[in-house]
Amino acid sequence: MRRSLRVALLATVATCFAGAALAQDLITKDRVGPADAPKTLTFRLTGDGPGNTDPAYAEAYKKVFVDFIQKHPGWQIKLERMSDNIGQEQARMLEQAKSGSGPDCAAVDSFVLALFMNAGVLKPLNEYFTQAEIDDLFPFVREGITGKDGKIYAWWWGTDLRVLYRNKDIVPTAPETWEELKAAAIASKDKGMEGVLVNGGRWEGTTFDWLANFWAQGGKLVDENGKPIFAEGENREKFLKAVNYFKDLVDSGAAPKRVATIVNYDEFNAAATAGTTALFIGGNWQLAQLKNTMEPEEFAKWTFSPIPGPTKDQRSTGTGGWTVGAFSNDPEKVALCAAIAKDIYAGPGNEIQQQLPTSKAIFNKYDVFKSEANQAFAAALVDGQARPGVPIYPEISNQIQVMMGDVLTGAKTPEAALDAANAAVQAAYSRL
């Protein structure tokens, strides 16, 4: 009997190893599923997948992808990883999709989704989601994925927002206004820090993070027809006020001059971990990253609060996130793409990376979103504002990035930089 038990245990262990080996065979750096599977789908993705630079996230995604492909026999998914230059990657993918050489399925950044819908390269996904699931999406999300014909053309699975992170030991009280943040940043320099860090280099993060200061005043980038109006009338005044706010942070020393070259949120994590900054404007997802990076006693010193506004009552924060959309003309591939969005990202993907869900149902489903921090992030979404879903937005963003570089380095006055940005945007709008 003892021999039978041993044989049984060995058989169990062998089965486990065989299962593990089988799972390993089902996922490689650029493929999920058997290499000889007859049906292939190409999926272009960001770091939100098995190639995530965080080993824990990568392993969790590998398991979800393997579980997924085992439920879809006969398929293999070819993974195409985007670089971190998201703006360039999305522009390239749009041109490929227009020419019919794009991927079958892909991650589409929410801020350029309108461009893809306007180009007519995305396939409708309504039949793969119930009306109740669509209705449960946050309004700005539902609006963002819906085309002029009322159909949805992608599934927006994760959203985010920006907050002010601070080291409580250095900055005990949360700054609530622009002036309070400036004072706190300068005070932190007296304690050996480099002041508040913000994105200021040539990338989308610079525009998006700064826009909170424009939106907090009620500023509008475009009118109801999608025409750029940010340099007109009251919008011009609000725009310049927000630009001058960032310029003053640098000129006063409250922010280091190097912010004009920052193009990656990872720099904030690195500075916080190294103890060289006590303040930065970052994304909600960075809280989990700081927890993974810091020793517990150091992480305990950090907290977050809403982005300060010109006054305590004027607040805003940008809400973004990623969608999954289908480009293929093959109905089977469109169905599999929708399944990827639904079964891998909307729920499991949110949980793995603590990416804020886009629907109440998923918020309520996972315990991780019941934490005090994630409840606070969810509450802060009330001040959230998405980028306008209009074709001209990417050019507006591009010109704001150029403008910010010119202003923060002193190459142009805010007025001259705004006029140059507006001229370029209006010229681009006339060509649409």
**pLDDT exceeds 70 at position 14:** no
Q: Which residues of 335-363 are buried (b: 16+ CB within 10 A; e: fewer)?
A: bbbbbbbbbbbbbbbbbbbbbbbbbeebb
What pLDDT score was predicted for residue 103?
98
pLDDT bin (cut points 50, 70, 90) of residue 390 is confident
Determine the Cα–Cα distance for residues 197 and 397; give it in Å rounded to an integer.
20
What pLDDT score was predicted for residue 288?
87
**pLDDT exceeds 80 at position 124:** yes
pLDDT bin (cut points 50, 70, 90) of residue 24 is low
Residues 6+ apart with CB under 8 A from 204: 86, 87, 109, 111, 397, 401
The pLDDT of 342-371, averaged and rounded, is: 92
pLDDT in tens, 287-340: 988 998 999 999 999 999 999 999 999 999 998 899 999 999 999 999 999 999
Beta strands 155-159 and 356-357, pairing class: antiparallel
Which H or E element spans position 104? none
The pLDDT of 393-402, averaged and rounded, is: 95
Candidate from 150-159, 205-214, 362-371 with smallest mean pLDDT: 362-371
**DSSP state, residue 161:** B
The pLDDT of 10-39, averaged and rounded, is: 69
156 three-class SS: strand
What pLDDT score was predicted for residue 5?
39
152 three-class SS: strand
Candidate from 137-146, 396-405, 423-432 with smallest mean pLDDT: 137-146
Over the chain, what is the mean pLDDT? Answer: 92
CA distance to 276, 308, 310, 353, per residue, from 175 (Å): 19, 6, 11, 28
What pLDDT score was predicted for residue 176?
97
What pLDDT score was predicted for residue 389?
80
Q: Are 41 and 7 in contact (CB under 8 A)?
A: no
Number of neighbours of residue 123 by Cβ within 10 angstroms: 22
Q: Among residues of the chain, what percentage have pLDDT more than 70?
A: 94
Q: Among residues of the chain, what percentage have pLDDT more than 90?
A: 79
pLDDT in tens, 129-146: 999 999 999 888 998 899
**pLDDT exceeds 90 at position 381:** no
Candidate from 19-23, 52-56, 113-117, 144-148 with smallest mean pLDDT: 19-23
What pLDDT score was predicted for residue 219?
97
pLDDT bin (cut points 50, 70, 90) of residue 263 is very high
Determine the Cα–Cα distance for residues 286 and 302; give it in Å rounded to an integer.
11
pTM of the model: 0.78
What pLDDT score was predicted for residue 140?
83
